[in-house]
Amino acid sequence: MFEDATLTPLCPTSDFYAVLKPHREIDLVEWARSNQPAISAALRKNKAILFRNFKSQDHETFAQFVQAIARPLEYVYRSTPRTSIGEKLYTATEFPRQYSIPLHCENSYQADWPMQLFFYCKQPAAEGGATPIADIAQVTRTLDTSIKETFEKKEVLYVRNYGSGIDLNWQTVFQSQIKAEVEAYCRENQIEYAWKGENLQTRQRRPAMARHPFSQELLWFNQAHLFHVSALEAATRAAMLKIFPPNELPRNAYFGDGSELNEEELTHIRSTYVQAQSVFEWQRGDILMVDNMQVAHGRQPFIGERAVLVMMGNLHTQ
C-alpha cells in the first residue's frame, strides 16, 4: 500500500488498528499530500492508524498534516473544556489527571460530527495517560440485544443546563456571547432551548445508532453513558443532586420520550466499551488517526506532565 512505509499491527488485542513507520526519514506533510488516497484506504481497512517515527516534532507540523488529508473542523456545541492552540487545533479534554475519561465517539450526541479524529502526542505522561481505543462494531455486536432494541426505538434525550457555575457555560459551549446566534445554532441543529434569565437549558433528541456512510454498518453511536448522572463518582453525584433536581443538572440523559434510563443497563454499556478496548503507549511525536464512527477513544489517569493535542476532520451529517 505504501512504498516507503510499513503497516504493522498496533495492538495484539485487535485485528484492526495499525502503526505506520517510514523506512527512512520522511517529511510527514509532503508525504501525506502525496499519499492522501492511500491513507484514506488504509484507514477504512484498519479503522485507526498510528503514525510513528515521522518528522512531526511540533504542533504546527501536526496541523499541516491534518490539513493535507482532511477538512479541519471547529469545535462547537462543546461538551468538554479544551484550550485552543491554533486554528481548529485544541488540547485534549482538560480533566483532572487522576480520573479516567470513559470511551466514547466524539460529538455522537450531535446532529453532525467529525468522521476523523487526529491526536498528536507532544509530551507523553511519566506514567499512565494512554488513549485507549475501542472497536465500535464489537461494542455493537456485544451489547445486550434488548438494550440495543430499546435504545434504537426510544432514542436518547440530552438535557443540558448552563449558567450554574458548574460545567461549561453557554458562551463556551456555543463559542458565542450573543443569544441570537445561540438560538440560530439550536434551530439549525434541532436543539430545543429555553432561557431562564441569563441561564440556558437545551434539550436534544438524537438516535442511539447511526449508519456508517462507507461500510453501511449500523453502529452504536451516542453518549448516554457519559451524559447520565450515573457517570459521576458517587460522592460527586450525591453532592450535585443536593444542589439540583435531576432535570436541572448541568447535564443528564434520558430516553427520547423523557423517561428514565436504566442504570444497570448503563453499567452494562460502559463495561462493554471497556471489554472492547485496546491500549498502546504514547511516544513523543506520535499521531493517531481514527475513524470516529468505528473507533471510540478515552483517557487513562496519569502522573507527570502530559500534552496531547486534537484536531477533527471531515464533517458528516446524519
**pLDDT for 178:** 97
**pLDDT for 164:** 81
pTM of the prediction? Answer: 0.95
**pLDDT for 228:** 98
Strand order in the sheet with 192-196: 192-196, 199-206, 156-162, 251-255
What is the grid cell recorded at 40? 484514506
CA of 61: how far to CAs of 25, 181, 236, in Å?
15, 33, 40
**pLDDT for 6:** 94
From first to last of the 318 residues of the chain, give the pLDDT tens digit. Answer: 898 999 999 988 788 899 999 999 899 999 999 999 999 999 999 999 999 999 867 999 999 999 999 999 999 889 988 999 999 999 999 989 999 999 999 999 999 999 999 999 999 999 999 999 999 999 999 999 999 999 999 999 999 999 988 889 999 999 999 999 999 999 999 999 999 999 999 999 999 999 999 999 999 999 999 999 999 999 999 999 999 998 999 999 999 999 999 999 999 999 999 999 999 999 999 999 999 999 999 999 999 999 999 999 999 987
- Cα–Cα distance measured from residue 90 to residue 312, given in angstroms and rounded to the nearest whole number: 9
What is the grid cell recorded at 117? 479524529
The closest alpha carbon to 8, from 56, 54, 62, 50, belongs to 50
**pLDDT for 55:** 80
Sign of the torsion angle spanned by Cα atoms 121, 123, 126, 129: negative
Helix axes 263-275, 145-154, angle to 10 degrees: 120
**pLDDT for 12:** 83
Question: pLDDT, tens digit, for every residue of 164-191?
Answer: 888 899 999 999 999 999 999 999 999 9
- Domains of the chain (ranges, CATH numbers): 5-133+280-317 (3.60.130.10)
